[in-house]
Structure 1
Amino acid sequence: MTSDLQALRITRSELDQLTGLDIDSVFMGRMIRPSVWRSRRQLLSLLITECLVLGTMFVVCLGLGLVVVSQQEGFNQFGALLLGIAVAIAIGAVAWHLYQGWRSKAFITLARLLDECDRHNDIIQALQVMEELDAAQGTGQGLQNSEILVALQATRDSLISALMTEKILRRHRALMQRRQELFSTLETNLATLQTLHVNHQASEYRQFLQEALAIGLAVQQEMDANTKR
């Protein structure tokens, strides 16, 4: 059953293909997964990665800054240069995290699906461990329940279908928003046309009353003239 369980796992390569992004335990694409903040190990990995990136940026910016100031005679404010580069990198890091927080709102569904995929793989891993323990104890029983495989296969199929659907909706989000705006515009235009139609009917009715009144006055004047004769 071990080979069957292994085949039910959702691998990283499959996740990359299904989502169209580079997926790992910390990032989805170039965005931080929300699950990172709930795991110390993943949070430590994120901090190490960011420290390496910021350190590399500092070294590169410092090198470029030294090249620029070396062409200026009498420059002796090396401390100010270091401080300026550090402040600029810190501001850039804060801006990047704010942008990440704003952009991640569009990937909430994907993040939840990835968490479900991780739980699915964890269940498979736990079943494999139990099978290995049974084999080590020599019981020879193992996990022979076929219903487990059926349930895991159904879960896997559902997750894959959900990931594919999310990818399609994410790629066409702008079109869907445009359609919603179009529907709203149509509703507004219909309401405006209805209002204009009502106003036009009221205007026609008012004109009809004025014409009827004018005719009535003309008839009354003609009758008065005939009476005087």
Structure 2
Amino acid sequence: MTDPIKILLVDDHPLVRAGFQRLLISDDSIEIVGEADNGQSACDMYATHNPDVVIMDLNMPNDSSTDDISNNLNGGLEAIRRIISHDAKAKVLVLTAMEIDPFPAHVVNAGAKGFLTKRCAPDELLAAVKAIHDGEEYITEEIRLRINGGGCTESASIGSLTKRELQIFALLAEGRTVSQVAKVMFLSPKTIHAHRTNIFRKLSISNNSELAHLAIRHNIVQA
């Protein structure tokens, strides 16, 4: 009898993990060996359980000490880099709502073997796990087009934001004031105002309401 595919499931939402767990273990060839809700825990569990495939969300904390979104936006990506630094043969499948540019390209550059959005069909998730376990890559055609520069104009505009601008964009979209963002980012309000002006220019928007709607449409913040 073939050994089951050992899965480490990483997502900071318990209900989401529970849903994916039920789906995955419905297939007799798959076994969940661990669950993590932040990047640090994912790295620790990888070293302990040595899973065959890691299913990783992107938007989650680096560790359990904070739920600050400026930290969350990089939590999954940083965990991927650390896991692959620990084990160059690690097989990571990203399963996320963060599908706009520049996230897909960052995921591939970090060394992940697959990228699925949370809109995917259940059968596609199972197929992706098995393909990656067998040494293949699994990136949907839609995501591959975005990586190669064929994404929509709106997504491409968001993709033009720098890492810092993207963090500020997310914080403003949450409804935080410039002063609050400045405190979180350890920057002056004047600097945040300058970044805000650049963000508005790059995204062709004129106010925070438009910014918030854009962030919700692209799953950077929840409605």
Q: TM-score, normalised by structure 2?
A: 0.26
Greater helix fraction, Structure 1 or Structure 2: 1
The answer to which structure has the higher strand fraction is: 2
TM-score (norm: length of structure 1): 0.25
Higher RCO (C-alpha 8 Å, min separation 6): 1
- Structure number with bigger Rg: 1
